[in-house]
Structures are given as C-alpha cells and as structure tokens.
Amino acid sequence: MSKSTNKKKIDTYVQEIESLRNSGSFRRLRVIESTGTPYATMEEKQYLNFSSNDYLGFLSRPELQQAAIKATQTWGTGTGSSRLVSGSLKIHQELENLVAHWKGTPSALILNSGYTANTTLIPVLAGRHSGVFCDRLSHASIIDGCFLSRAKCHRYRHNDMDHLKWLLNNHPYSAGRVIFTESIFSMNGDEAPLGELVRIAKDHDTILVVDEAHANGIYGAGGAGKVEEYGFEKDVDFQVGTFGKALGSFGAYVACPHKAKELLVNKCRGLIYSTSLPPSVINVNICAVHLVMAERTLREDLIQKSLNLRSWIQEKLIQTCGGASQIIPLILGKNKKALFWSEELLKERIFVTAIRPPTVPEGTSRLRISLSALHTHDHIERLKKVLLTLAQLETKMTYAGSRKI
Ligand SMILES: Cc1ncc(COP(=O)(O)O)c(C=O)c1O
C-alpha cells in the first residue's frame, strides 16, 4: 500500500472519531484500579458503583478467589489447546454436569464467553435457508450470530408477540426457524413473555433459545434463571448464559439435550477453534454455581431492593421500562444529556455509566443503574439524593419517550 493511501485511511479514522465526539457518542476506556460492588476505584478515588453486573457481589468472595488459586496450583495456568485437541479437562466436564443439573437439562456445553456462545451457536442452528426471529432489542451478540449464520434475520418489535406471530405466519422456511430471546433484557431490565414464547414456538414448530445472561444467578428457586422460575426447562430448546455477570467470573454455557450438545461439539466454531477456558476460571464457575444455589436470601434481597428503587424512580423521577429486575434504566433521550447526568454523578462519587447508541436505540440514551446485593440502604439513599438534585436542575426539560422530570 502506498504512503498516501495509508495517510488517507488515517484521515478517515480521525474524521470518524471527530464525528463520534460531536454527536456525544465517543467512548473511552476508563482505567479502574479496583472493581466490584459496592465500590470501584478510579484515579485513586473511590466511587459507589452502580455500573457493574456483579449483581451478587461475587467478585470479592474469598471462596471464589481460593477456587482460582487451588485450580491453578493443581492444573496449571492454561489448557494449551481447544477442547477437541487436548484442552478438555476433567473439571470442564465437572462444570458441564453441574450446569446441566442446575439448569434442569440433560446436558450442557461450556463456551468461552456469552458473546462467543451466541455468535457461534446461531450458525449451528440456522443457515442460509433458515430464518431467525429475534427481539428488536436483542443483544449485539445475537445480531452478530445472525449475520454469521447467513440466515434471514427477522426482528420483532420489543416483546410484541403479535408481531412475532405475524412474522412467523408470513415467513415459512423449509430449512427451519429459530426464535431467540433474552429472558431479562440487558439494557431495559424488563422481561420477555416466556410463557407466550414457549406457546408460539410450539404452535409454529420453531426452535426456542433463551439467553439468561442477566437472569441466571438471580431468579428461580436455585438461581438458574427465569426458565427455572417458570418451570420451562423442557420447553426451551437451548438455554444460554454467562458466568461473567451475577456469577462473578467469565465464560458461558449452552444447556441443551445430549444430541444437541454432540452437534455443537462437532459444529460450533467457538468451541472448535478457540483455546478452552483455563482451570482457574472453570473452578471459580463451579464454586459460583454452588454458591448461587445456596444463597437464596441474597438473591431475594436483591430483587426486593430492585423493586423498591424502581418504584421510587417511577414515582419521583421518570418512567422506567417495565419489569422488576436489578437493571433499572433511566431513559434520558439525548446522548449528551445522559453523559451530563453520568458526569454529575461522578462528581458526587457515584459511578453510573451513560449507555448510548448503538447499544440502545437512537434517542433512548440512558443511565443504566445496576443494583447489587451488596448495595446497602444508605448507598441507595445516596444515589436517590443525587438523582433528585439532578432532576430538580432540569425540571423544565422533556426527554424523548418519557414524561417531564
Ligand atoms: C444478553 C447478553 N448476552 C450475552 C452477553 C455476552 O456475555 P459475555 O459478557 O459473557 O460475553 C451479554 C453481555 O453483555 C448480554 O447482555
């Protein structure tokens, strides 16, 4: 490539960055010196952290830290290859058996992250002549999985089951169809109508996949998620979930029937072409699943706190999205507005990230308040106080899609 072509390319990057800055969409990496809940430290200052998916405070649990150390000492720091070559250790299998038991499915497969799971599961389930039907607010990993599969992707209006049925009735595919939903939506914190989805999938003879990324660890008698809570283990064909959020670790699983696992082992590129998760991570995941099953009070306490804060926000500030989960969005509309609120909160030593497009739809930039079981009454009161002050500062403003603050 000639020097002038290179220069042109760099100029294009500069322009792109400038346009991101001008529209309030520019993102930068913050250096976090210590993380977790309830506190994160940045530039030597401690912030009350409402930005983390560490919903149960597991990042700092000594049992999990010990599990990582023990596994490293026993097995070493890595696995040296992908599962199919020589990287399938006994503890991978132990975790898979445990996850299958926890999720109430015949089998389970461990993958390297939730992103990998979705992007490489969908191409196994759907191909060029199939259709994938997913919610308009689906996580990027689901959308990317659809692209990679080369299937036709139909996105129904958020949680609109009539729209989904209409799409299914009008788009038959001889090679098969897949409905893909999150059980708790990552940026809205609201819930998919799982009962209706199960019925629709049955009526239309369609595979149903449920991503429990923000539900596992919290819902259901054993903390396995919304599928467990409603008893749909036999109705949902594939349950996907991550260990990276409530379970305080890393990695993901697909819980499914035995034959489906065999197919994935043979065809899922995320498993075949990537080094398997290290023993430390696998052992932390084993320990985290056991802890979740035992920590019912912690989970129930989080759900109650979430309900209280959500109803306070609805009453005093602004309409949030529906649902009752630990993810509470404060939809402010414009990018710059969301950034302003986030910066003002930082000045008060409270960390709530502004979430902007393309993560959320245009005009719905928001503060995504993420509650943890480790947030105390006083922490939440501190947050409320600053939010009220900010709202009073802007009483005259109307935000997109919401009533006046
Ligand atoms: C719904 C959903 N699925 C998958 C993922 C990806 O999970 P991981 O962080 O393990 O890659 C996320 C994470 O943001 C998510 O919100």
Nearest to 74 by CA among 279, 249, 251, 275: 279
Does the beta carbon of 342 sit less than 6 angstroms from any atom of ligand 1?
no
Query: Is pLDDT of 396 > 60?
Result: no
Q: Mark whether 175 and 30 lie in a shared domain.
A: no
Check if the beta carbon of residue 178 is closer than 8 Å to that of residue 132: yes
- In this structure, which residue's CA is closest to atom 8 in ligand 1? 114
* Contact (Cβ atoms closer than 8 angstroms) between residue 180 and residue 125: no
Q: Are residues 194 and 71 in the same domain?
A: yes
138 lines ligand 1 (CB under 6 A): no
Rounded to whole angstroms, the Cα distance separating 399 from 382 reads 24
Q: End of a domain among 294, 327, 342?
A: 294
| pLDDT grade for 319, boundaries at 50, 70 and 90 | low
Encode pLDDT of 134-167 as tens digits. 999 999 999 999 999 999 999 999 999 999 999 9
The residues with which 209 forms a beta bridge, in sequence order, are 180, 238
> Residues 243, 381: one domain?
no
359: pLDDT strictly greater than 60 = yes
DSSP string, 255-308: EE-HHHHHHHHHH-HHHHTSBPPPHHHHHHHHHHHHHHHH-HHHHHHHHHHHHH
Tally of domains within the chain: 2
Domain final position from 294, 328, 348: 294
Domain-embedded: residue 3: no
Q: Domain for residue 19, yes or no?
A: no
Candidates 209, 135, 207; CA nearest to 177 is 207
Asked which of 232, 264, 294 is the last residue of a domain, the reply is: 294
Residues 86 and 73 occupy one common structural domain: yes
Q: Is the pLDDT of residue 257 over 80?
A: yes
DSSP 8-class letter at 36: -
Q: 139 an active-site residue?
A: yes
- Asked, for residue 66, whether it belongs to a domain, the answer is yes
Whether residues 217 and 326 share a domain: the answer is no
Q: Give domain status of residue 5, yes or no.
A: no
Q: How far is the CA of 283 from the centre of ligand 1 (A)?
A: 20
pLDDT at residue 12 tops 80: yes
- Per-residue pLDDT, 40: 95
Q: What is the CATH number of the domain that holds 161?
A: 3.40.640.10
Q: Is the CB of 36 under 6 A from ligand 1?
A: no
pLDDT at position 24 is 82
Q: pTM here?
A: 0.94
Mean pLDDT score, 205-231: 98
Identify whether 211 is a catalytic site residue. yes
Instruction: Give the DSSP letter string of 162-176.
Output: HHHHHHHHH---TT-
Between strands 131-135 and 177-182, the pairing is parallel
Taking the CA of residue 250 as reference, the ligand 1 atom at the shortest distance is 10
In angstroms, what is the span from residue 114 Cα to ligand 1's centroid? 5
Q: Whole-angstrom Cα distance, residue 170 to residue 175?
A: 15
Ligand 1 within 6 A of 119 CB? Answer: no
Looking at the structure, do residues 265 and 301 belong to the same domain, yes or no?
A: no
Is position 403 within any domain?
A: no
Closest CA to 242 of 121, 399, 331, 323: 121
Residue 83's domain spans which residues? 61-294
Instruction: Confirm or reject: Cβ of 252 under 6 Å from ligand 1.
Output: yes
Active site residue 229: no
Environment class of residue 215 by beta-carbon count within 10 Å: exposed (0-12), middle (13-18) or buried (19+)?
A: buried
Task: State the Rg of the chain over Cα.
Answer: 22
386 and 349 together in one domain:
yes
Cα 29 to middle of ligand 1, angstroms: 18
Q: What is the rounded CA–CA span in Å between residue 381 and residue 305?
A: 11
**Contact 108/265 with Cβ under 8 angstroms?**
no
| Rounded distance between C-alpha atoms, residue 367 and residue 339, angstroms | 8
What per-residue confidence (pLDDT) applies to 3? Answer: 64
- Catalytic annotation present for 53: yes
Of all protein residues, the one whose alpha carbon is nearest to atom 5 of ligand 1 is 114
Any catalytic annotation for residue 186? yes
The CATH number that applies at residue 49 is 3.90.1150.10
What are the backbone dihedrals phi and psi of residue 203, each rounded to the nearest 5 degrees, phi first? -60, -30
Is the pLDDT reported for residue 298 higher than 90?
yes
Query: Looking at the domain assignment, is residue 193 inside a domain?
Result: yes
pLDDT tier at 82, thresholds 50, 70, 90: very high
Unique residue bearing structure tokens 């952290």: 49
Whether 378 is in a domain gets the answer yes
Beta bridge partners of 154: 133
Q: Clarify whether residues 312 and 289 are in a common domain.
A: no
User: For the ranges 21-35, 272-286, 292-306, which has the lowest average pLDDT?
Assistant: 21-35
Q: Is 396 helix (H, G, I), strand (E, B) or coil?
A: coil
- 5 Cα: distance to centroid of ligand 1 (angstroms): 37
Annotated catalytic residue: which of 54, 135, 182, 228?
A: 182
Ligand 1 close to Cβ of residue 141 (< 6 A):
yes
Asked whether residue 231 falls in the same domain as residue 367, the answer is no
**pLDDT, the chain, mean:** 93
**Catalytic residue list contains 81:** no
In this prediction, residue 226 carries a pLDDT of: 98
User: How much is the pLDDT for 70?
Assistant: 98
Lowest mean pLDDT among 46-55, 114-123, 295-304, 311-320: 311-320
348-357 average pLDDT score: 95
Is residue 402 annotated as part of the catalytic site, yes or no?
Answer: no
Same domain for 197 and 50: no
Which residue has 């404060």 as its token pair? 330
Tell me, yes or no, whether 136 and 190 share the same domain: yes
Number of the ligand 1 atom closest to the C-alpha atom of 182: 1
Q: How far, in Å, is the centroid of ligand 1 from the Cα of 147?
A: 17
Per the domain annotation, does 398 fall within a domain?
A: no
